[in-house]
Amino acid sequence: MRRACGYLRLLLAVGLLPVFTVLTVQAENLIVNGDFEQPLLPPWSLFSGGVCTIERLTDLDPDPDYEVHVDLSGAGGGRLIQVVPVPDTEVEFTGHMRFHADGTGDAWAAAAVVLSYLNGAEELLGETRLGAWTHNCPWESGPASHLIGMPDDVWLDWTLNINDELVELPAVDPLAVRYIRVGLYVQAYEC
């Protein structure tokens, strides 16, 4: 059986913070409800295909506040996303997160925070995926895609400078980035 889980709190400010995600510009948080202390309402959007659960819980991390748990059992996928306008790419993503993915045989599973870099028409230019995935996962790095593997089932704090990260994506023109779509993705194939 494949299973993919992601837990996080996110802040998107000209600086991005995981567990609560933050995307910050000059210490201003750009992600609405990035700490998930309020219900998951717009501008957060939820998408699910398969047996996917997306919920706010207080008992995931040993602290009293909310985290978001995205869980997928079996084949399919699920996403919790927010599109955030950015003044430029001089921003940081910070978050507190934990991922889990496991699969057997030819099955694969993945759980990731995905930062998608979009132009003014909200078309995808490239993306960064921070997460955990199994050995058969077809995700791979390339000129417009950067994978950053995270330890499985460990809470960690992570900060990513977007300008520095875009060096890893030679196909993405930093001057064309007008939005960052922040998402928590879970995906699995072949139950």
Quick check: 2 pLDDT over 60? no
The fold of 3-189 is: Jelly Rolls (2.60.120)
**Element of type H or E holding 58:** none
More confident residue, 19 or 117: 117
Quick check: 80 pLDDT over 70? yes
Q: How much is the pLDDT for 26?
A: 57
Q: How much is the pLDDT for 8?
A: 43
State phi, psi for 107 to the nearest 5 degrees: -70, 150
What does the domain layout of the chain look like in residue ranges? 3-189
In the chain, % of residues over pLDDT 70? 83
Give the global pTM: 0.85
Which of the four pLDDT bands, split at 50, 70 and 90, describes residue 143?
very high
Q: How much is the pLDDT for 180?
A: 96
